[in-house]
Amino acid sequence: MCIVDESVSSTRVASFAVSEFLEVNNSDLILLRDGLGWTVEAVNGPLDLNLAQITSNVKNVLLPDEDDKSDDRSPWNFLSRLSRDRGIDVSASQLARLPYKLYFSDDVLQLCG
Amino acid sequence: MLPASAEAASNSDYKAIKARHSDQAQSDLIEPLTNLSKLDPKIVIKVADLASSGNFSTAPESFVLMATSGWITAGGCTYRQAVDNPHLSSGTTSVHGWWETSATSGCPAYSNVDTFLQAFFCNMWGCSYVTIASDSRDVLAGGGSGRRGNARNSCLNSSLISYRGAVDVDLINQNDPGGLTYSPEVGVNCYPA
C-alpha cells in the first residue's frame, strides 16, 4: 500500500510511505513491513509524477537490495520469514504462487493527475 | 544556548572525558562539545570517532524539519532527485539515492548521485543528525538496480535508532543546484557500528 506522507509533501517535494501486508482469509491484513518509502524533489520544474514512475519506485523500495547477501535476497524467502515472525506459517514457494497487488491511496492517485 | 545547569554539567563531564582520553593522540575524534548541527552534512564522520563523545538515539517526534534544495535552473534539463527511507539490509542500515527526469532531451545520460546516510546522535552540546556513510557514483536516470547510489553502515546491535537519508544530484557537464533532498526520519533497529 502506497500513501502520500503529508508531513513532508509540498508542491515541490512528495514523500511516499509504503507498507506491505499479507492478506489472510480474504479480508484480514497482517502488517509485514512499514517504514518503507521514498522522497522525491523537483529541482527545477513541476513534480510531474505519473503512476508508472510511482509504481516502479514502490517496487524498488520493496525489493531487497541488489547486494543483499542473505537468504533475504529472494523476496519470497524474506516475506516468508516475516510471515512466520507474525505467526503465519507460509513457505516462500506458497507465497510466490499468490497474487501480489499494489494499492495506492487517493492522495497518490490525485498527485498523478 | 543550553540552560545554565545543563551547561555546568556539560563542562564538568567534558573535563572528565578529556581527562580520560588525555593519553590519546589528537586525531579526528569529535570533541564532546562540538555543535553537531553545524557539521557539513556532506562530510562523513566515522562512527568510531563519535563513539567516545556521545550516543546514537531516537529523535523526538518534533525534531525533524525537512530541508530542501533551492529552486535553480539547470540548463535544459528538468529533473528530480530522490532518496528512499533508510532500512535494514543484511546487517546494515542502507539508503539509496537516484534521479528521475521526464525530459526527452536536455539532460545528460548520466548524473553523479551523492547519497548520504545520517544517524541521530547526541553529545553534551545537543542532538543532531550526523552523516555516517556516503556514496558517490554516476548513474542513468530512473532508479532501481544499477541506477542508484547506496550508502550503508553496519549494525553493532539491534537498538532502535533514528536515521534519515539525503541525496544530491549533479548533472554531468551542466550547472545545477547543490542542495540536498532529505528523507523523513525513520527508526531502524540498528545501532551504528
The predicted complex's ipTM stands at: 0.89
Residue B188 pLDDT class (50, 70, 90 cuts) = very high
Counting Cβ atoms within 10 Å, is residue B165 exposed (0-12), middle (13-18) or buried (19+)? buried
Interchain proximity B90–A67, CB inside 8 Å: yes
Domain range list for chain A: 2-111
Of the candidates A43, A69, A70, which has its C-beta nearest B81's C-beta? A43
Residue B33 pLDDT class (50, 70, 90 cuts) = low
Residue B28 pLDDT class (50, 70, 90 cuts) = low
The pTM of the whole model exceeds 0.95: no
SS3 A81: helix
pLDDT by residue (tens digit) across B13-25?
434 433 443 444 4
Domain range list for chain B: 28-192
Which residues touch B193 (CB under 8 Å, ≥6 apart)?
B47, B153, B154, B155, B156
Interchain proximity A53–B100, CB inside 8 Å: yes
**pLDDT, mean of residues B131-160:** 96
A79 CA: distance to closest CA in chain B (Å) = 14
**pLDDT, mean of residues B144-168:** 96
Query: Which residue stretches of A1-113 are H helix?
Result: 51-62, 75-85, 92-96, 106-111
Task: Give the Cα separation of B105 and A25 in Å (integer).
Answer: 50
Interchain proximity A13–B142, CB inside 8 Å: no
Rounded mean pLDDT of chain B?
A: 80
Chain A residues in contact with B146 (beta carbon < 8 A) = 66
| pLDDT of the residue at A71 | 66
Sign of the torsion formed by the C-alpha atoms of A74, B136, B81 and B91: positive
pLDDT by residue (tens digit) across A69-107?
666 667 899 899 999 999 999 999 999 999 999 999 999
Which residues touch A110 (CB under 8 Å, ≥6 apart)?
none
Counting Cβ atoms within 10 Å, is residue B3 exposed (0-12), middle (13-18) or buried (19+)? exposed
Residue B30 pLDDT class (50, 70, 90 cuts) = low
End-to-end CA distance of chain B: 31
Question: Which residues between 74 and 113 in chain A have a beta carbon less than 8 angstroms from any beta carbon of chain B?
Answer: none
B91 vs A67 pLDDT, higher one = B91
**Residue B168: how many other CB atoms lie within 10 Å:** 25
Residue B12 pLDDT class (50, 70, 90 cuts) = very low
Dmax over CA atoms of chain A, in Å, equals 49
pLDDT by residue (tens digit) across A8-56?
667 789 999 999 999 998 889 999 999 999 999 998 878 888 899 999 9
Interchain proximity A43–B94, CB inside 8 Å: no
| pLDDT of the residue at B67 | 47
Asked whether residue B74 carries a pLDDT value surpassing 70, the answer given is no
**pLDDT, mean of residues B148-165:** 97
Rg (CA), chain B: 19
- HSE-CB for B68 with a 13 A CA cutoff: 21
B142 vs A47 pLDDT, higher one = B142
> Cβ distance B81 to B167 under 8 Å?
yes
Interface A-B: count of C-beta contacts within 8 A: 108
> Cβ distance B29 to B21 under 8 Å?
yes
> Cβ distance B107 to A43 under 8 Å?
no
Interchain proximity A53–B71, CB inside 8 Å: no
* Cell output for B141: 536516470
| pLDDT of the residue at B17 | 37
